[in-house]
Amino acid sequence: MVRKVSIFGSTGSIGCNTVDLILRHPDSYDVVVLTGGRNVTLLAQQAKATGAGLAVTAFEDCYDPLAEALEGSGIEIAAGPDALIEAADRPADWIMSAIVGAAGLAPGLHALRHGTTLALANKESLVTAGPLMLFEAKKHGATIIPVDSEHSAIFQALVGEDINAVERIVITASGGAFRDWSLDRLKTATLEQASNHPNWDMGQRITIDSASLFNKAMELIETKEFFGVHPDQIEAVIHPQSLVHALVGFTDGGLMAHLGPPDMRHAIGYALHWPDRRHVPVDRLDLVQIGQLEFRAADPDRYPALALSRFVMQTGGLSGAAFNGAKEAALNAFIAGNIGFLEMARVVEGVLEQIDAENGHNSAMITLDNVVQMDHLARNSAAEIIRKIAR
Ligand code: NDP
């Protein structure tokens, strides 16, 4: 049976891996929509290679270059945030949500309203609006399959299990680029150094978030939202090899671990073929060659992002939207060279404190409008703090 599929964020790291898997079995898929941002050359190439019906760039000023690159192809084109929403309304059996940042939330929500199967890589959706995503999925009979490797691992470990029999969930963190650096040395970390991940090949923003453990902080929140467990049941440990992605502990003391190579095509392939398992072209682990698996505690002094995520998990409401907006603003400021690596956590902490004192985080309902409003508030508050500490 040919499945209709769409890929939001096809030009990114997750998107390219998804296109790679689709192109290995082109007769099995009818590609409805591909979306990208500024990389219109790649978007046009992918659209031609997959025979996509529609190619959308998120930016209106990229319309002309995209039109030029696709001239004569017969592929429909569109541009801008509204075009992304309209593209999400196009019927598809399976949709990959792999736009980076809060911009991924609205298209994913729209896709859920059509009862689709949503492969969810965009972690900001669950962090900013987890209850809304789950509500919409339930209301419209849609299915969300997590694509983040840790959440895919938990999802797989829970097949056939009762969530009430879960005692704890452990997600692993590689520790990123700076896992062996001292706190003093971390103060001097540069953008170039933070952008090199020892194990995974990912987009730049998530690579930097891996070094600061903001990525892990997001994943703790995602775990609470998606699996509905209490924050005290979720922990993160450093596992430098990135082979064990997560473990689920049950009431009988058993611990189910999920192992796989650090290659996102495993989790993407699982989500693509779910509920079946099919061949996915990733390396197979050689356990004897690996020899030993290493785990260590995550040092809270070096990774303040983890404590901030605990605050968000306990506070709930719109605190996830505030956390994410502040984190994105702080990351932009680090990338622009305006603040240091450790100052990103200071900015997020300042924003959470300020918003909590002024508005409270959980006073408003989690609707798309309220999430967007909180995101703006957090970014403005972050901008003020960044101005004060900018070098
Ligand atoms: P990338 O930065 O590699 O790609 C992001 C995609 O989003 C690109 O297609 C980009 O377009 C597009 N994009 C950028 N800005 C906008 C915008 N404002 N509106 C719409 N589209 C936009 O990201 P990743 O693939 O690394 O990550 C995607 C998501 O998946 C993130 O939420 C990330 O946290 C999550 N994730 C990623 C993993 C990974 O291994 N990379 C693992 C687990 C989760 P263009 O490049 O053309 O500008």
pLDDT, position 203: 87
Atom of ligand 1 nearest to the CA of 209: 34
pLDDT at residue 71 tops 90: yes
Distance 42 CA to ligand 1 centre (A): 14
Question: Is the CB of 11 inside a 6 Å radius of any atom of ligand 1?
Answer: yes
Q: Domain boundary at 102, 122, 146, which?
A: 146
Question: Is the CB of 44 inside a 6 Å radius of any atom of ligand 1?
Answer: no
Least confident segment among 156-165, 295-304, 334-343: 295-304
Other C-beta atoms closer than 10 Å to the C-beta of 273 total 15
Question: Is the CB of 225 inside a 6 Å radius of any atom of ligand 1?
Answer: no
Please tell me whether residues 7 and 71 are part of one structural domain. yes
pLDDT, position 391: 65
* Rounded mean pLDDT, 373-386: 97
Question: Is the CB of 79 inside a 6 Å radius of any atom of ligand 1?
Answer: no
Please tell me whether residues 80 and 31 are part of one structural domain. yes
pLDDT 10s digits, 167-218: 999 999 998 889 889 989 998 999 999 999 888 888 899 999 999 999 999 9
Question: Is the CB of 119 inside a 6 Å radius of any atom of ligand 1?
Answer: no
Question: Is the CB of 210 inside a 6 Å radius of any atom of ligand 1?
Answer: no
> Residue 320 belongs to what domain range?
316-391
pLDDT, position 252: 98
Distance 182 CA to ligand 1 centre (A): 30
CA 278 from chain center: how many Å? 24
pLDDT 10s digits, 125-155: 999 999 999 999 999 999 999 999 999 999 9
Q: Domain boundary at 146, 163, 195, which?
A: 146
CA 267 from chain center: how many Å? 12
Atom of ligand 1 nearest to the CA of 15: 25
pLDDT, position 360: 74
Structure tokens at 315: 């506070």
Distance 203 CA to ligand 1 centre (A): 7
* Rounded mean pLDDT, 301-329: 96
In whole angstroms, what is the distance from residue 17 CA to residue 14 CA? Answer: 5
pLDDT tier at 329, thresholds 50, 70, 90: very high
pLDDT 10s digits, 1-29: 899 999 999 999 999 999 999 999 999 99
Please tell me whether residues 297 and 178 are part of one structural domain. yes
Select from 6, 66, 77, 100 the residue to mutate for testing ligand 1; criterion: most ligand atoms less than 8 Å from CB.
100
In a domain, 270, yes or no: no
Q: What is the average pLDDT value for the chain, to the nearest integer?
A: 96
- How large a percentage of the chain has pLDDT more than 90? 91
pLDDT, position 162: 96
Atom of ligand 1 nearest to the CA of 40: 47
Cis ω for the linkage preceding 275 (within 30 of 0): yes
Q: Domain boundary at 303, 327, 362, which?
A: 303
In a domain, 208, yes or no: yes
pLDDT, position 209: 95
pLDDT tier at 103, thresholds 50, 70, 90: very high
Q: Are 123 and 100 in contact (CB under 8 A)?
A: no
CATH code where residue 67 lies: 3.40.50.720
Please tell me whether residues 65 and 180 are part of one structural domain. no
In a domain, 275, yes or no: no
* Rounded mean pLDDT, 152-162: 98
Atom of ligand 1 nearest to the CA of 35: 9
Other C-beta atoms closer than 10 Å to the C-beta of 233 total 15
In whole angstroms, what is the distance from residue 330 CA to residue 341 CA? Answer: 9
